[in-house]
Structure 1
Amino acid sequence: MKKIKQAALLAGILTAGIMSAQSTDAHTTSMRNTLKVGLNAGIAVPNDNLSAAIGADVAYQYLVTPSFGLGIASGYTQYFKRNNKGWDNKSVGVVPAAVLLRYYPEKTGFYVGSDIGYGFLTGNEKVASDSNVNRPDGGFYIKPEVGFHNRDWNFFVQYQKVFVGNRGDVANQKYNVGNIGIGAAYNIALGK
């Protein structure tokens, strides 16, 4: 519960800071404040207990400079179960509460970035049907991405991971919530 409160506090502080940092500079473009809405899909890595993932992302980004974006990000990713080593594993969902960081060297082209925060895990309370091991509640969340951007779209390759340590491990199977995948996000200008 302490981590949930810390993540919520961090998101609130960042939102307040972003809102108060906005200026009415004559050079401000209509894309300084952006809502990003996207989809992603990937393959679970390593894949002891999960096979694939599909998700939706939503984020707010404020361009602090023409090359650097800062914001908040969330969404939902569904990880699909993989039966392995005799275990009937359960699917799991991830709801991130994260800070968004992006670097855009040019107005159009290559970019890099990451979402960093806390990933809340949702779904069945047990890791597997025949197990008495509980699913972790969440952990440190990171989603680095590299991609191509223009005014309206971002297309990217990502790695998404929730670090749970050894919580959720079942006998000879490591519990993992992570994937490598691809995605796209549409940028909606929110005005100056």
Structure 2
Amino acid sequence: MKSMTKTILALGLMTAGLASAQSADMRNMIKVGINGGFAVPAENAGGNLGLDVSYQNLITPGFGLGIATGYSHFFGRDNDVNGVTINNNDFGVVPVAALIRVYPKQMGFYLGTDLGYGFIVGDDKVASNASVDRPDGGFYIKPEIGYHNKDWNFSLQYQKTFTGDKGEIANQKYSAGAIGAGIGYNIPLGK
């Protein structure tokens, strides 16, 4: 009980300290951006390019909540498994996620994450020369750290859609994850 009280007190103090971090005219906004990176691990895909679209409401000037979606295209890569070349297909991830952001100052570094479900779209098979079905999706997470000002966001991010063991071919695991960078533009919607 004491630790819960301390946690609530600490969160309250942090929220109060962040209350002056963001400008009031940027309370509601649409964020539109692009991202790209390298697939990790790079077994069935080599890299990705994506488009991000989100809505954010600043609950306090330093804390934002919203919804996020977009499309991230993963480029399939050939992979040798047990002496056989697997021709992995391209695929896409369409997330439907909650957006969480913390802004310690009006301009500067921020932390955030998107949490939700990632729908995997594209060819029904993992590879053009294999009969294994690709997964349909899974739990989606996209933590990021970045720099922001009134108009722009620049971030380093990791995105991952967890698929369990679905889509595996022999010892090749199916990966819908990437590490990369992104840039976004803020469109204010008013107070």
Give the TM-score band, short-chain normalised.
Answer: 0.7 to 0.9
Give yes or no for contact 2:37–2:48 (8 Å, CA) kept in 1: yes
Aligned residue for 1:30, secondary structure, equals: helix
2:56 maps to what in 1?
Answer: 61
Cα deviation per residue 1:66-122 (whole Å; 9 max; x = unaligned)? 110000000000000110011010011000000000000000001000000000000
Mapping for residues 8-47 of structure 1, pairs under 5 Å: 29-47=24-42
Question: In structure 2, which of residues 14, 22, 45 is the aligned counterpart of residue 50 of structure 1?
Answer: 45
RMSD: 0.8
Residue 29 (structure 1) shift: 2.0
Measure the CA separation in 2 of the matches of 1:191 and 1:65: 15
Structure 1 residues not aligned, in runs of 5+: 1-27
Q: Quick one: which amino acid aligns to residue 95 of structure 2?
A: P
Aligned to 1:14: none
1:100 counterpart = 2:99: yes
Matching of residue 74 in structure 1 with residue 69 in structure 2? yes
- Shift >6 Å, 4+ stretches: none
Name which one, 1 or 2, has greater alpha-carbon Rg.
Answer: 2
Name the count of aligned residue pairs. 165
Q: Give the secondary-structure state (helix, strand or coil) at the position aligned to 2:147.
A: strand
Q: TM-score, normalised by structure 1?
A: 0.85
CA contact (8 A) 2:24 2:61 kept: no
Percent identical residues: 58
Secondary structure of 2:32's counterpart equals strand
CA distance in 1, matches of 2:114, 2:174: 22
Q: Which amino acid aligns with 2:38?
A: I
TM-score by length of 2: 0.85
Amino acid corresponding to residue 143 of structure 2 in structure 1: P
